[in-house]
Structure 1
Amino acid sequence: MDLDNKNSCKHSVKAVEEKGGVESEQILYNAHINTTELDERKLMRKVDLWLVPWFSLLYLLSFLDRTSIGNAKLYNLERDLKISDIQYLISLTVFFISYALFEVPSNIFLKRLRPSVWFAILMTLWGLFMTLQGVAHNYGDLVALRWMLGSFEAGLYPGMAYHLSCWYKRSELGIRTAVFTSATTLSGAFGGLLAAAISNMDGLGGKPAWAWIFIIEGLVTILVGIASYWMVQDFPDSATFLTKEEKTFVIRRLQGDDQYSAAGEKLQMKNVWSSFRDWKTWISMIQLMGCDMPLYAFSLFTPSIINQLGFRATPANLLTVPIYAFAAVVTCCVALYADRHGRRGWCNIIMLSLGGIGYIILIVSRNAALSYFAVFVATCGIFPVVPNTVTWIANNFEGSYKRGVTLALAISMGNVNGAVSSNVYRARDTPWYSLGHGLVLMYICIGITANSAMLYLLKKENAKRDRGERKEVIGFELEDNGNGRYATVEDAKREKGDNWSGYRYIL
């Protein structure tokens, strides 16, 4: 809730901190409202039904629109636009550059504006540019439209990841992020089916099949974008589907989960810059770099890889369906385990290692059936790791602006490396694409290293806090011990966020 909202009602009550046993003044949101009769499970199911399915649809369309060019390529896109393989790869690359540039500003705008308005604007505009790809006449048209597509898609994923973190406790966020992120797997499956179906429109209205893929998918995105103005809920304090008691309950449970900013935070540049000064932000960027490049490489080129293994365009698209269905199941299973047991770092390391095995098989295989099997193994190190990493980042950054900026920075770094992925599967490397597979394997190794470093350093920091090495001085009558001096524990929480000595990182 924004502190600028004059109608907010907060009261101070005395409470004893569970962490450290320090008596301090706590702020209980809407202390005059009684929420004891609310059923927590029933309420959160209600929240789930309003947020997760619609976000899943938005992300499905987002990923479908950015990767459908891989399906369109199979229906003579390059021939009709008279572009070379290098020019095709450049058209993929420019999307990721514009996408990465606009993610951080977009998340700041999201916090200042209503998410329902911001998401509706973004989707409607990128849907327009998606549609216009269907009337591109040459290489220049395609590159310009891909740049604009990336610019407006940039705000959706980091925005949704941040937005969900404003509704759920840290132990609940993983499965929700995994469900809507699994839309990437569904978009892969659905994209193949849809492209195969739309290919039957070849020649209709004088347009080839690849053009209709862009036009149909773009028009659907525009319609869903307009509907998002009414379907997307903003923050818990202003949700139209919740009663006053339910809004209060949602915010209080977040505050009880060390999300002290749940009741509101003003935009101050120090909250934004705190993200840049935090070492966790930079490791988080490398973590997403290690899983996003493989994700985009996989999604953009799986149809082409299967096509080069001896299957024609439509069968190649259809053979991607079971791969993505399997990936969706694995993604949700990993998220459920991580939410329940909290071992997000180990989950990432193990799944990335499995993915590495899959790519080693792809590099050495010269058998189509074995390579197809290896693609299934490779999905284990790609699709589950992305939402688990995003959730892990959201879990360990307190302060709504700091968390939003960090998520945007990390996802931006991941998408910059998506530009790399669009240039490593070259036509001259067919049918086995050894260079592309080798570079993806290298990124997976980077991911394993970054996740191991994050796990080690967070564990080390938690141990220091357990030993009292980070404890602040409470009360101005005492001298500062180097960790900060504050009037109350509440002030320390608010000012230091996840650097507060009582805050414990999720491992």
Structure 2
Amino acid sequence: MVKSEEDKLSQIEVGGEQSSDTFDSDNEKKAAITTDIESTISLSSSADSKNPFIDPVVAEYYRGVYEKAKYECRGVFDPDFNWDPKEEKALVRKLDFRVALTACVMFAALQIDRGNLSQAVTDNMLKDLGLTTNQYNNGNTIFYVSFLLAELPSQIISKALGPDVFIPIQICTWSIVAMSQGALKGAASFYVTRALIGAIEGGFIADLVLWLSYFYTSKELPIRLSWFWTTLSLVSISISLAAFGILRLRGHLGLEGWRWLFILEGAITLTIGISSFYLMVPSAVQTKSRLHPKGWFTDREAKIVVNRVLRDDPSKGDMHNRQPLTPRMIWKSLTDYDLIPLYIIGLLAYAPTSTLGAYQTLNLRQLGFSTFDTNLLTIPADALHIILLLFITWLSERVNNRILICYFLPLYSVPLVAILAFWDGTLKNVWGTWAVTSLVLGGPYIHAIVVAWVSTNSNSIRSRSVASAVYNMSVQLGSIYAKNIFREDDKPLYRRGNRQLFALAVIMFPVFFLTKFYYKWRNSQRDKKWNAFTQEEREDYIRNTKDEGNKRLDFRFIH
């Protein structure tokens, strides 16, 4: 393209004598062509700067990887392909509508059926079923243990069937169990339904994050995941408002209000589950089907989606989307010690909000608020959660320093949890207690950032699938102990429990510092080895190394 435009310039320059009008016209053409050339060169340069495949050795290596893996998008892989940034921007908007919005709708189904228990207990559910606080704790523990144990098996099934098949099945199945909670009779049935919902929902988040990673770059993923968890708060607000009306059905057809809550909201999520068979596709090049006869993208758009993702992370093509994980793959991923710092963050970071969130409605009832006021008073915390979540993930796109952003969490939460732990006016000043609790629950939520961080530092589909599950397992382990920090003998102020939460909030300062130090140290080790190689040795390493994923010397951890 550039050569042909240069030929046109030459023809204008040697065209001989011209009239003034012709000369001005030709000057305009020359200026336009020059601008076009500069734009093309600039576009090519910009694309090359972000394109690891500009090195033919790297391109040859990964082409072989994609062919060997039977990667479903390998047919449109093109190291020399260029596109206009305006095209990409418009395409990302289309992805946000087709992919991110779909993920948010499906996540809403998850949050409705696992989150409406806190609304149900405000309608005297525990008294109706003859349950104590500790039995309520046991039910929450059973849910999270089941959720945790199902994480890895769910990833194995999802990787074999494809997230676009398995996720709709999950949603439909747990919705049916959620509706059955309308027939609870006592502790045994409460425990069974908690176990089933946890087991079916386990792995859902990791499955959905894997599907999102097929379409978005590592820089784009955190903000999309923030929309994902913004949905959590929006759903919490919605089900609080819905509960305000649904719980008033107590006595209708002889059923308590909390039974109506489970039945009606389960029916809503079942509708979402059925719809998700239509809303999801296997990949960018597999969008045409009986349900989507025209597909989502033009051929050029599909090519842009695939190549932009591969240039951001070439490892995203090292498995195809219906390739099961082998025992060897799983073992190598489970023993990936380089991701342990992120698992520790998952284990510790969310304990204060997990504990206070589980007990928010019960505490408000114990402080004297009515059933209906209690459900409405949960809304401000969710609204603040949305604002701060969107802010820190927006900031993470502009500040390439994840630890710096993560420090917002303890800086914000430590003083607030200290008030709950050491303030003597908790029982006397119920509105002050509500305000502090709401501020803690609405605090900076770094989960979206860390999930994307785990995905990027995995550097392979195999490791990414398992690592996402293991990270979520660490979060669930945190939820298990967090849900048991408040005990019956510590009511109603939970002084002992709040001091434990304070200690957990403080410990995040050294955890974040050590995580930063570890990844900087690992990168410096690799820099020394890589910089000592000659160019020929580097090319030989790329072609012949047996190192995989984040163990490659040419990979650097983000931090």
TM-score (norm. length: structure 2): 0.80
- Equivalent residue number for residue 199 of structure 2: 151
What is the one-letter code of the residue matched to 2:542? V
DSSP 3-state at the match of 2:285: helix
1:496 aligns to what? Answer: 548
1:24-173, aligned counterparts within 5 Å? Answer: 24-26=57-59, 27=62, 29=74, 30=76, 36=83, 39-173=87-221
What's 2:304 paired with? 249
Cα 1:243/1:96, change in 2 over 3 Å: same
In 2, Cα distance between equivalents of 1:16 and 1:185: 39
Task: Kindly state the Cα deviation for residue 436 of structure 1 after the two structures are TM-superposed.
Answer: 3.0
Tell me, in whole angstroms, the C-alpha distance in 1 between the residues paired with 2:522 and 2:162. 36
Q: Aligned match of 1:278 in 316, 336, 340?
A: 336
Q: Which amino acid aligns with 1:36?
A: W
AA of the residue aligned to 1:303:
T
**Native 8 Å contact 2:135 2:187 kept in 1:** yes
Deviation, structure 1 residue 418: 1.3
Is the Cα contact below 8 Å between 1:251 and 1:263 reproduced in 2?
no
Q: Equivalents in 2 of 1:275, 1:447: separation in Å?
A: 26
Post-superposition offset of 1:355: 1.4
Q: Which has the larger radius of gyration?
A: 2
Does the aligned pair in 2 maintain the 1:254–1:260 contact within 8 Å? no
1:177 is aligned, of 225, 230, 249, to 225
Question: 1:260 corresponds to which letter in structure 2?
Answer: S
1:189 corresponding residue in structure 2 = 237
Q: How many residues align?
A: 483
- The one-character-per-residue Cα deviations of 1:452-477 (angstroms, maximum 9, x if unpaired) are 222111112223333345877887xx
TM-score by structure 1 length?
0.88
CA distance in 1, matches of 2:532, 2:216: 28
Question: 2:49 and 2:261 mapped to 1: Cα distance?
Answer: 60
Deviation by residue 1:309-336 (Cα, 9 ceiling, x = unmatched): 3311110110110110111110011001
- For each residue in 1:152-197, what CA deviation from the matched residue of structure 2 results, as whole angstroms up to 9, or x when unmatched? 1112111112222222111111100111112222232222212111
Q: CA shift at 1:199, angstroms?
A: 1.0
8 Å CA contact retained: 2:51, 2:311: no
- Aligned mates of 1:115, 1:21 — CA distance in 2: 32
- Unpaired runs of 5+ in structure 1? 1-14, 479-484
Evaluate the alpha carbon distance shift between residue 16 and residue 506 of structure 1 in structure 2; reply closer, same or farther with a 3 A threshold: closer
After superposing the two structures, state which structure 1 stretch, 305-314 or 173-182, moved more.
Answer: 305-314
Larger displacement relative to structure 2 (416-425 or 27-36) = 27-36
State whether residues 167 and 208 of structure 2, in contact with CA within 8 Å, keep that contact through their aligned partners in structure 1: no
Mapped pair 1:404 → 2:451: no
CA gap 1:307/1:118 in 2 versus in 1, 3 angstroms: same
Contact kept in structure 1, 2:357 and 2:441, CA below 8 Å: no
Give the conservation status (yes or no) of the 8 Å contact 1:271–1:399.
no
Correspondence list, 1:345-494, <5 A: 345-365=403-423, 366=425, 367-379=429-441, 381=443, 384-468=445-529, 487=540, 489=542, 492=545
Native 8 Å contact 1:128 1:222 kept in 2: yes
Contact 2:365 2:371 in 1 (8 A): yes
- Mapped to 2, the partners of 1:263 and 1:24 lie a distance apart of 17
Gap runs ≥5 in structure 2: 1-47, 64-73, 288-294
* Secondary structure, aligned partner of 1:167: coil
RMSD (Å) for aligned C-alpha atoms:
2.7
Flag the 1:144–1:258 CA change in 2: closer, same or farther, 3 A.
Answer: same
Instruction: For 2:408 and 2:237, locate their aligned partners in 1 and report how far apart those are by CA, in whole Å.
Output: 25
d(CA) in 1 for partners of 2:558, 2:441? 25
Higher helix fraction: Structure 1 or Structure 2? 2
Bigger mean CA deviation after superposition, 90-99 or 349-358: 349-358
Task: Give the 3-state SS of the residue equivalent to 1:102 in structure 2.
Answer: helix
Cα distance in 2 between the residues matched to 1:247 and 1:472: 38
Determine if contact 2:133/2:488 at 8 Å carries over to the other structure: yes
